Amino acid sequence: MFNRNNGRKGETLDATFSYPETQKENVSRIDSSSPRTAMITDQVEIKGTLAFDGTLEFNGTFEGEIISQGTLTIGPEAIIKAEIQAAKVIIRGKVQGNIAATESIEVCGKAELFGDVQTAKFILAEDAIFRGRSDPIEGKASAPEFAPVFRRLTTTPKSR
């Protein structure tokens, strides 16, 4: 149901949706192979959990959790405070929260990211702001073994 307090501008619109089990399979979704992109404008504020397939460009304000197997593009007007799980995340706006992406995370020029990232490929523009920790997805990369190299460097050569 929708509730609006006396129709006053600037107040929150609460929305609650419930779908009977028999109708859930009839809900349309964006196919991840589709070239179309869904877009949420800078006029939208959302709090809660956002789940989608395919590609989404988000330019509004969001707080909560974002879950997808597709691509999330956070537009230059976006302000996001969320835990994000997606295949690919492109950041052009401001994000506070941890991100896990199976493919890649790209922080574009003038974007801001405050949180830890876990991904196979992490791209950070020179004029972007990133404060957090970056870890590879488990099994994708491991630290090389440096101990033998350092042992060779620390041994003193024999005098002749």
Among all chains, which residue has been given the structure tokens 């419930």? 18
pLDDT given at position 12: 44
**pLDDT more than 70, % of the chain:** 64
Helices (H) and strands (E) in the chain, counts: 1, 14
Give dist(CA 77, CA 142) in Å, integer. Answer: 36
- Residue 146 gets the label, from left (phi > 0), alpha (psi -120 to 50) or beta, of alpha
4: tokens are: 């609006």
Measured CA distances, 93 to 27, 62, 109, 156 (Å): 30, 12, 9, 53
What are the pLDDT digits (tens) for 21-73? 434 443 334 444 556 789 999 999 999 999 999 999 999 999 999 999 999 99
pLDDT given at position 30: 42
